[in-house]
Amino acid sequence: MLATGGTIAGAQSSAPGGRYRSGVFSIRSLIAAAPGIESLARLEAAHVASIGSQDMGEAVWRALARRAQSALDDPAVTGVVVTHGTDTMEETAYFLNLVVRSPKPVVLVGAMRPATAMSADGPMNLYNAVATAAHPDAAGRGVLVVANDEIHFAREVAKTNTTQVGTFKSTHRGLAGLVSSARIHFYGAPVRRHTMASAFAIPGRGALPRVDILYAHAGMGRELIDAAVGAGARGLVIAGVGNGNLGSHARAAAAAAAGAGVAVVRSSRTGGGIVERNVEMDDDRLGFIAADELNPQKARVLLMLGLTRTRDPLRLQEMFYTY
Ligand code: GLU
């Protein structure tokens, strides 16, 4: 078990509701709050970070990936559970899904309610996450997210609600499985390459290029796109309107960026659906990349890793069809 913080380890100043701090409790105290968890597996726990996941970034990703990889390389280890804040869990899960090389399960788990809250969801989520990581059928499915009795694939899962315990949804391809009090049912297999079949490696310090996300809207101008390029972005992800679209001013700025060698990926702000090439935007002519099903935050993760391999938009496009 590798702890990074989050609400699952969070404490409220006064119950119920209101303000609280992420990452206050130790992983040992979280284990102690889930009676019976130590009969599911022999647990070894370590802290990688104690942060709210809004502070998650490249340095913690690298440390976490390294710790997970060395644990997975140990023949005595069956699987890894990562406790994590829910805000950016989908990004960390997808990052690990692309850089960790092991068929053994890696399961991310969090909670929407702090550990001190009435009906805290963390203990059961943690219990189910350990059961999932210890299950023989969890291997080979890539990185998983367990919450609210559901098992999600890293590529599919998204946080969709600010406060509800059922916030995680796999909007495109459905669930990996269900887990109820450690009873597990797996369904599908992941549809895209991951872990053992991934061409990506854990990046070295400073290896990931700057990639910015820009949120499109009615009346969007070119200024923020120009500013991102001016600030040194090597890649841009556009949370486009509808099918990854941009109005004419923003489109001109994005085309200029692509012409200058900045990778421009069109994702969508809609929260669902495929962004396809050359529908309303002439990607072939403008040099853009379509995000396929990845939401903007996951498209950013793939683009950062992709840019460690190539700057060629067509090769990057192929990655969006592969991962
Ligand atoms: N901002 C916190 C985090 O992501 C709260 C969300 C949570 O963990 O549920 O760590």
Q: Are residues 147 and 176 in the same domain?
A: yes
Candidates 7, 86, 132, 167; catalytic one: 7
Is the beta carbon of 22 within 6 A of some atom in ligand 1? yes
Is the beta carbon of 7 within 6 A of some atom in ligand 1? yes
Is the beta carbon of 4 within 6 A of some atom in ligand 1? no
Query: 258: CA distance to ligand 1 center in Å?
Result: 35
* Residue 86 is a catalytic residue: no
Sign of CA dihedral 30, 92, 241, 323: negative
Is the beta carbon of 240 within 6 A of some atom in ligand 1? no
Q: What are phi and psi of 184, to 5 degrees?
A: -115, 140
pLDDT in tens, the chain (323 residues): 999 998 888 777 766 666 777 778 889 999 999 999 999 999 999 999 999 999 999 999 999 999 999 999 999 999 999 999 999 999 999 999 999 999 999 999 999 999 888 999 999 999 999 999 999 999 999 999 999 999 999 999 999 999 999 999 998 989 999 999 999 999 989 999 999 999 999 999 999 999 999 999 999 999 999 999 999 999 999 999 999 999 999 999 999 999 999 999 999 999 999 999 999 999 999 999 999 999 999 999 999 999 999 999 999 999 999 99
180 token code pair: 């109820």
Query: 57: CA distance to ligand 1 center in Å?
Result: 14
Q: What is the pLDDT of residue 7?
A: 83
Name the domain boundary from 153, 172, 197: 197
Sign of CA dihedral 197, 202, 207, 208: positive
Strand pairing category for 157-159 and 183-186: unpaired
Q: What is the pLDDT of residue 17?
A: 63
Is the beta carbon of 263 within 6 A of some atom in ligand 1? no
Neighbour-count burial for 253-276, b at 16+ CB within 10 Å, e otherwise: bbbbbbeeebbbbbbbbeeeeebe
Give the domain CATH number at 141: 3.40.50.1170
Across the chain, where does the E strand assignment appear?
2-5, 11-12, 20-21, 46-51, 80-83, 106-109, 143-147, 150-153, 157-159, 168-170, 177-180, 183-186, 211-215, 235-240, 263-268, 289-290
> According to DSSP H, which parts of 113-244 are helical?
122-134, 223-230
Q: Is residue 204 part of a domain?
A: no
Name the domain boundary from 167, 197, 227: 197
Sign of CA dihedral 86, 90, 91, 96: positive
**Interatomic CA distance for residues 254 and 285, integer angstroms:** 12
Q: Is residue 280 part of a domain?
A: yes
Query: 163: CA distance to ligand 1 center in Å?
Result: 10
Count of domains for the chain:
2
Residue 297 CB coordination number (10 Å): 17
CB 150 within 8 A of CB 159: no
Task: Annotate 97-121 with three-state secondary structure.
Answer: HHHCCCCCCEEEECCCCCCCCCCCC
CB 92 within 8 A of CB 106: no
Q: Are residues 63 and 90 in the same domain?
A: yes
Q: Is residue 254 part of a domain?
A: yes
**Interatomic CA distance for residues 309 and 203, integer angstroms:** 11
CB 112 within 8 A of CB 6: no
Domain that includes residue 257, residue range: 211-322
Q: Is residue 203 part of a domain?
A: no
**Interatomic CA distance for residues 113 and 122, integer angstroms:** 7
Q: What is the pLDDT of residue 188?
A: 86
Name the domain boundary from 197, 231, 251: 197
**Interatomic CA distance for residues 272 and 283, integer angstroms:** 20
Query: 41: CA distance to ligand 1 center in Å?
Result: 26
Give the domain CATH number at 292: 3.40.50.40
Q: Are residues 173 and 221 in the same domain?
A: no
